[in-house]
Amino acid sequence: MEKKMTSGEMAKKAGVSQKAIRLYDEKGLLKPTEYSEGNYRLYDYAALQILEKIVALKQIGFSLEEIRDNLKSGEASDIKSALEIQLQNMEEKKYQLVWHMPVM
C-alpha cells in the first residue's frame, strides 16, 4: 500500500505553503486522495506530481484558471500550445521592459 502524505508533507516536498494547497483544493486543481479519520487531507504520489506541475506552471506565469484548463485537458499538445503562448507573452514583456529602460 502506498504511503499517503499530509498537506504539510506535500507542501514541504513541493516548496509551497499549506495555504496554497488548500487554495488549489478550493479551485479544483488538486484534490486529496482521501481523508484521515481526523478529517485531514491525505495525498498520494500522483497528487504530488500534479502539485509540482501546478507550481512549475505558476512560476512561469500561468493563472490558476489556465492551469486548471491544462490539467483538465491533459493533452500534451494543449500544454505545448499554452507554453508557446506563454513564451510569446514573456518575450513581449521583455521587449517592453528593454524598450522603456533608461539608457545609462
Query: What domains does the chain contain, in order, with CATH numbers?
Result: 5-100 (1.10.1660.10)
Residue-by-residue pLDDT tens, the chain, 104 positions: 678 999 999 999 999 999 999 999 999 999 999 999 999 999 999 999 999 989 988 988 888 998 898 888 766 566 677 777 778 888 888 888 887 777 65
Q: Which residue in the block uniquely carries the three cell numbers 479544483?
A: 28
CB-facing half-sphere around the CA of 95: CA atoms within 13 A:
6
Strand partners, 5: 43
Provide the pLDDT for residue 30. Answer: 94
Provide the pLDDT for residue 15. Answer: 95
Residues whose CB is less than 8 angstroms from the CB of residue 57 and which lie 6 or more positions away in sequence, other chains included: 66, 67, 70
Provide the pLDDT for residue 69. Answer: 85
* Sign of the CA dihedral running 23, 71, 89, 98: positive
Provide the pLDDT for residue 103. Answer: 63
